[in-house]
Amino acid sequence: TIERTFSIIKPDAVAKNIIGEIYHRFECAGLHIIAAKMLHLSQEQAAGFYAEHKGKPFYDNLLKFMTSGPIVVQVLEGQDAIRRHRELLGSTDPEKAQAGTIRADHAISVTQNAVHGSDSAESAAREIEFFFTEDEICPRTR
Ligand code: CMP
């Protein structure tokens, strides 16, 4: 099935100047970018997005990192987009990420791990809605 998923290029990857490198991987895998923007998250936005992790030991560091610099957020569309996107990212912990994945190649640590991808259809819907209004999403016309 054709799905939509939500994706973030995190502050470490933006700082490393690899936005295009990461977009290239999405495109090569048949994932189409149908919405995109760069932004610098406020503390409130980051807390809202990561609400489910509140109270976890890594939560404070996560918020500090995610607000430390600009990010690029995108909606990707394609066949099995949710699973395919996560396969490209690799495991959350770069030490465990499969060779050739974005995190194996570029992540600095489990927190500074270059990218985020929705883990289910439910999170994808919630996360897309968190960052994009309906009119900011541009479905393919050809
Ligand atoms: P992400 O997919 O954006 O969702 C939660 C983030 O918390 C995760 O990626 C990691 O960057 C970060 N994080 C830091 N430490 C951990 C940890 N021990 N387990 C899971 N996520 C962690």
Residues lining ligand 1, judged by CB closer than 6 Å?
53, 58, 62, 92, 110-111, 113, 116
Range of the domain at 95: 2-136
Among 142, 15, 140, 1, which Cα is nearest to 75's? 140
Residue 23 in any domain: the answer is: yes
Please indicate if the annotation marks 25 as binding a ligand. Answer: no
Confidence at residue 142, expressed as pLDDT on a 0 to 100 scale: 87
User: What CATH number does the domain containing 92 carry?
Assistant: 3.30.70.141
Residue 70 in any domain: the answer is: yes
Q: For residues 11 and 71, give the distance between their C-alpha atoms in angstroms, rounded to a whole number.
A: 5
Confidence at residue 122, expressed as pLDDT on a 0 to 100 scale: 98
Confidence at residue 132, expressed as pLDDT on a 0 to 100 scale: 98
Among 18, 22, 3, 68, which Cα is nearest to 41's? 68
Please indicate if the annotation marks 92 as binding a ligand. Answer: yes
Number of domains in the chain: 1
Residue 142 in any domain: the answer is: no
Please indicate if the annotation marks 17 as binding a ligand. Answer: no
Residue 101 in any domain: the answer is: yes
Residue 141 in any domain: the answer is: no
Confidence at residue 30, expressed as pLDDT on a 0 to 100 scale: 98
Confidence at residue 57, expressed as pLDDT on a 0 to 100 scale: 98
pLDDT mean for each 10 residues of the chain (142 residues):
98 98 98 98 98 97 98 98 98 97 98 98 98 97 89
Asked if residue 75 lies in contact with residue 9, where contact means CB atoms within 8 angstroms, the answer is no
The pTM assigned to this predicted structure is: 0.97
Confidence at residue 75, expressed as pLDDT on a 0 to 100 scale: 98
Q: Which of 64, 95, 102, 113 to mutate to test the pocket of ligand 1 (most atoms within 8 A of CB)?
A: 113
Report which ligand 1 atom has the smallest distance to the Cα of 113.
11
Confidence at residue 83, expressed as pLDDT on a 0 to 100 scale: 98
Residue 9 in any domain: the answer is: yes
Confidence at residue 73, expressed as pLDDT on a 0 to 100 scale: 99
